[in-house]
Structure 1
């Protein structure tokens, strides 16, 4: 079986990433149910991803990784999303933190090879706080000799229980430049870093999206990778938008596919009538809309450069995918009938999990504002 080989063993071969994800997903499904019922992090599933080398799949092969393409990883996340929503979403947060420096290494010759080599050699799991921070960031950075003391609470940190390195930011009140956001990585074992187990949520219950609390954590000057003006668009956020959002929403399309298939199975057990056919047909229309919008996002990310226009394309796609997958979930519940209300049949869980598609940036109101600003030629420096 392909999953029994680590990526390091097959680097010189062509890896069938989709088949690997399919095989792993089938193994993960049972653990997902347990995690959902007990608010448990899917730790065993993430450990399995590490053991087969998937956490380093996006690292270029020249740097010791699997050399998977961006489109390959979108496919992996969509397939995993069909079987285990929480594993897929937690893994997407690590994956985009790998693919962002990979893009910079490939397109800008940026000096990020050290991080990527560590991800490959040590099977590091990267933790993101970007979605909850976004342009404003959160927390404070106080200048001290040799670096900064960081105090912050980072929420929705998916995968926190097994993460090795938190990729985050905080706000420094620069005496000359004013409110300045510093971007840096913090080892989860650093003094002053703790996890507060807050994750008791409607859906995606196994993602371990707890709060990470930073209490006077020392970050040396050399660890600050980027400084930017608070609240303003910056190249790095165009890159984050371009790379992260299609990966994350691949997961939700996978969840919607699972909801569609389950609804059809349940509907087949009922007496069929034209109304049932009408609902299932509408469900398939919405799923097709989600897939088409996602494919546009992925294609845009593959061929584009980070810019306002690229961000607009990606975020418009994000709105369309979110609407469509939410409609799939609604219609799936309708098509399956009252039986869908029973937890044991699985559709209720998928309905809850897909609701997370509402909350990643840019939410529709902010996306529409940005699109309107661009169309009308207005100032787009901030949201």
Structure 2
């Protein structure tokens, strides 16, 4: 078991960090300020992508720092999920960095779905423009009228209609739906209510300009709309799409989701670790540069102990995430379920705690937009719900642990 970065990872990481230091870090404060000014308010139809983003994307592609997440040497960097993990951490230092390298969620997960499960025609129509960064995509799974923490509850429908599929339902928290370049949704819906619980749902590719697709509103997180990406509530009202837009087959939705979410959670958690490193750096720099009561505030009120605890928590989360990536790489997603669920609890909670401490040491500045801490806190808190809440992942870890002792699910859980 070796988590040391491979030679390929080290080479990519060195280039990536140099690019970020030269082009991304100096632009961070300007981007956050100008993006907030340009895209104020909830009307996503008025949102625009900062022109510098397209320029940076072109530079990144020219530098060979493009589609680094994809384990295909022709279409991407050809890195395994373990090899890519340190690169995701490096991107996590800045909220907008992943998009510059075409490694942003939910596009990475959607591209992996198309790469692994899409037909040749689906790849030509949707995967190619996504890989080229020409369009963006969303993943429509969560629903407002059911407890979506249990994904088998989803009630949005996929019905067969000859050579067509008919889609009806309401989705929300569809990340990226407000982006001006969003063109595609992957819609997960109930296709066979009588099948086994994990064979009832299907995934369908839906053009966002299809008749019957209606974005009703953007949903704020702590009052912020996250432009130009946004998290929206979307209605699918008798949306008809050709049957050839069905991914893999009817009833395959959960099988696809399992393959999508495993590597995606590695990406999320490593970016969270990068964000925690950024928060810790900001905390130390602020605490050592400001004085109160005759000494740097870093040395007041237990702050040094908090720094030590933050360092230990970050390193623990990183090692567990790398272990999960190692298990996925060597044994597959199904054999890494405990670790995947564990990191999904550990990493966001770790980030939330460290950002909260960084906010505290910044005082009033910490809750302003002058520093990126409120944005990082929002990411951490939302991640504790997105892709399955803490409680669901903790329950998974507990079930897997009990199974080692021959203790299966309770009658209530199995029902």
**TM value normalised by structure 2:** 0.73
Aligned to 1:8: none
Aligned to 1:310: 336
What does the per-residue CA deviation read over 1:188-224, in whole Å, with 9 as the maximum and x for residues that have no partner? Answer: 2222223233232225723312223222111222221
Aligned to 2:259: 239
Aligned to 1:32: 32
Alignment partner for residue 324 of structure 2, among 270, 286, 297? 297
CA contact (8 A) 1:32 1:86 kept: no
The verdict on how the C-alpha distance between 1:94 and 1:24 changes in structure 2, with shifts beyond 3 A counting, is: farther
Report whether the alignment pairs 1:358 with 2:384. yes
Aligned to 2:226: 205
CA contact (8 A) 2:113 2:256 kept: no
Report whether the alignment pairs 1:374 with 2:374. no
The verdict on how the C-alpha distance between 1:34 and 1:87 changes in structure 2, with shifts beyond 3 A counting, is: farther
Provide the C-alpha distance between the structure 2 equivalents of 1:14 and 1:278, rounded to a whole number of angstroms.
34
What does the per-residue CA deviation read over 1:121-169, in whole Å, with 9 as the maximum and x for residues that have no partner? Answer: 5734232224666444341223323222112222122222222221121
Alignment partner for residue 150 of structure 1, among 167, 183, 187? 167
What does the per-residue CA deviation read over 1:256-312, in whole Å, with 9 as the maximum and x for residues that have no partner? Answer: 2221111111111232336332222222222223322332233333333131x3222
SS at match of 1:360: coil
CA contact (8 A) 2:187 2:204 kept: yes
Aligned residues: 364
Provide the C-alpha distance between the structure 2 equivalents of 1:71 and 1:163, rounded to a whole number of angstroms.
29
The verdict on how the C-alpha distance between 1:46 and 1:71 changes in structure 2, with shifts beyond 3 A counting, is: farther
Aligned to 1:169: 188
CA contact (8 A) 2:140 2:172 kept: yes
The verdict on how the C-alpha distance between 1:382 and 1:150 changes in structure 2, with shifts beyond 3 A counting, is: farther
Aligned to 1:259: 279
Aligned to 1:276: 303
More helix per residue: 1 or 2? Answer: 1
Unaligned stretches of 5+ in structure 2? 1-10
SS at match of 2:387: coil
SS at match of 2:397: helix
SS at match of 1:191: coil
Report whether the alignment pairs 1:189 with 2:196. no
CA contact (8 A) 1:149 1:217 kept: yes
Alignment partner for residue 43 of structure 1, among 26, 35, 49? 49
SS at match of 1:123: coil
Provide the C-alpha distance between the structure 2 equivalents of 1:382 and 1:46, rounded to a whole number of angstroms.
48
Provide the C-alpha distance between the structure 2 equivalents of 1:83 and 1:315, rounded to a whole number of angstroms.
25
SS at match of 2:256: helix
Name which of structure 1's ranges 333-342 and 268-277 shifts more when overlaid on structure 2: 333-342
Alignment partner for residue 97 of structure 1, among 88, 110, 114? 110
Provide the C-alpha distance between the structure 2 equivalents of 1:185 and 1:92, rounded to a whole number of angstroms.
17
Unaligned stretches of 5+ in structure 1? 1-12
Provide the C-alpha distance between the structure 1 equivalents of 2:365 and 2:69, rounded to a whole number of angstroms.
41
Q: CA deviation at 1:22?
A: 4.7
Provide the C-alpha distance between the structure 2 equivalents of 1:229 and 1:104, rounded to a whole number of angstroms.
10
SS at match of 2:105: helix
